[in-house]
């Protein structure tokens, strides 16, 4: 056997070994054992809000959250909540905040605003500040905080301060979702600006979240008996006309 034929035989054997190695690698990647290492979807809690005795079909801005019971517990506080001033409105209208977190109040309008609240949960006055500026404020007690602008009476928002990282706000169709919920036992809490507190308290109930999540079904929010009272400015007086 010549040296050339020996070299060709060795080369063919090396090629065969490489082909076998590639085939084994592809087989391993396709096997269930390897696929099993991929992360499982995090549990989610879903539901749908339905308004009863409502003057509007918009089922958005209904807030729900899950208060841990027993051994159930949440994660960290996450990103800083933001309540923007844009187009003479607060965006979003409802924002959640965990106890101890700070809320950012950026002014995205080309004119000044004066953000304030007269709430017993958190009374504050951020003062007058200009376009492009921002203010920040810590929230230290749980509860619902109505927020207004001392210049523009149509501006209104709500900060919901809770002791849980598991919360969500419905869209205009009433759909709601809370992602990445730790499995465990919780108590459902519901809030809506056009519902009386006693009717909202009736919606509270136990919820068990499993490894596959939970479906809350339809949450019926009754608006009967509620009426809106025009708010005052930060000095307790009526707003000047034309704002």
Instruction: Report, in this order, helix, strand and coil percent for the chain, each rounded to 5.
Output: 15, 40, 45
- Same domain, yes or no: 120 and 147: yes
Identify whether the C-beta of residue 146 lies closer than 8 Å to the C-beta of residue 119: yes
Over its length of 243 residues, how does the chain's per-residue pLDDT go in tens digits? 554 554 455 455 555 546 555 455 455 554 444 444 455 667 899 999 999 999 888 999 999 999 999 865 666 667 899 999 999 999 999 999 999 999 999 999 999 999 999 999 999 999 999 999 999 999 999 999 999 999 999 999 999 999 999 999 999 999 999 999 999 999 999 999 999 999 999 999 999 999 999 999 999 999 999 888 899 999 999 998 876
Task: Work out whether strand 89-91 and strand 84-86 pair parallel, antiparallel, or are unpaired.
Answer: antiparallel
Number of structural domains in the chain: 3
In a domain, 242, yes or no: no
Domain boundary among 142, 163, 184: 163
Distance (Å, whole) CA 90 – CA 55: 22
- Same domain, yes or no: 119 and 177: no
- Same domain, yes or no: 79 and 69: no
In a domain, 241, yes or no: no
Adjacent-strand bridge partners of 209: 184
CA distances from 94 to 5, 77, 89, 91, 229 (A): 80, 18, 12, 8, 19
- Same domain, yes or no: 159 and 173: no
Identify whether the C-beta of residue 157 lies closer than 8 Å to the C-beta of residue 92: yes
- Same domain, yes or no: 180 and 230: yes
Both tokens assigned to 213:
């999540």
Q: Which domain holds residue 9?
A: 3-35
Only one residue has tokens 């080309």, namely 110
Only one residue has tokens 């087989």, namely 27
**Tell me, what CATH number does 145's domain have?**
2.60.40.420
DSSP code for 82: B
Could you tell me the pTM of the whole model?
A: 0.82
């Amino acid at each position: 056997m010549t040296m050339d034929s020996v070299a060709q035989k060795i080369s063919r054997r090396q090629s065969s070994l490489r082909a076998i190695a590639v085939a084994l690698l592809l087989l391993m990647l396709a096997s269930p054992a390897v696929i099993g290492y991929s992360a499982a979807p995090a549990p989610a809690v879903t539901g749908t809000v339905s308004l009863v005795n409502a003057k509007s079909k918009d089922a958005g801005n209904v807030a729900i959250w899950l208060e841990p019971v027993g051994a159930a517990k949440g994660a960290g506080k996450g990103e800083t909540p933001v309540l923007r001033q844009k187009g003479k409105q607060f965006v979003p209208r409802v924002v959640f905040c965990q106890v101890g977190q700070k809320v950012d109040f950026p002014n995205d309008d080309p004119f000044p605003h004066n953000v304030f609240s007269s709430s017993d949960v958190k009374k504050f006055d951020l003062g007058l500040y200009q376009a492009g500026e921002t203010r920040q404020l810590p929230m230290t007690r749980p509860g619902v905080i109505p927020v207004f602008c001392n210049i523009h009476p149509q501006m209104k928002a709500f900060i919901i301060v809770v002791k849980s990282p598991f919360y969500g706000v419905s869209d205009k169709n009433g759909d709601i979702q809370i992602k990445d919920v730790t499995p465990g036992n919780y108590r459902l809490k519901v809030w809506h600006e056009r519902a009386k507190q006693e009717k909202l308290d009736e919606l509270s109930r136990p919820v068990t979240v499993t490894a596959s999540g939970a479906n809350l079904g339809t949450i019926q929010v009754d608006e009967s008996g509620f009426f809106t009272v025009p708010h005052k400015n930060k000095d307790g007086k009526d707003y000047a006309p034309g704002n």
